[in-house]
Amino acid sequence: MIKVEVDMNKCQHYGQCVFEAPTVFKLNAEDKLEYVAEVDDSERDNVEAAVDICPMQAIRIAQ
């Protein structure tokens, strides 16, 4: 399992992560980011892409 962390103080809800890992990240009805904190290893590439694309560098994979 992969542990995903988002610093919600940094996150500006641009949603770039949603495009990279739509099964992990989504924007709710108020356009605020929601995410799954623990995901299967099969999502690693998508989550890493989301980490890389986040303009605010708010996402990380916890060790």
Residue 58 CA to residue 12 CA, distance in Å, equals: 9
Residue 51 confidence (pLDDT) above 80 = yes
Q: How confident is the model at residue 47 (pLDDT cuts 50, 70, 90)?
A: very high
The two tokens of residue 28 are 């709710």
Full-model pTM: 0.93
Residue 47 CA to residue 52 CA, distance in Å, equals: 9
- Look at residue 30 in the predicted model and tell me its pLDDT: 96
Query: What is the third-level CATH fold of 2-62?
Result: Alpha-Beta Plaits (3.30.70)
Q: What is the pLDDT of residues 1-44, one digit of tens each?
A: 999 999 999 999 999 999 999 999 999 999 999 999 999 999 99
Q: Per DSSP, what are the bridge partners of residue 6?
A: 59
- Look at residue 63 in the predicted model and tell me its pLDDT: 75
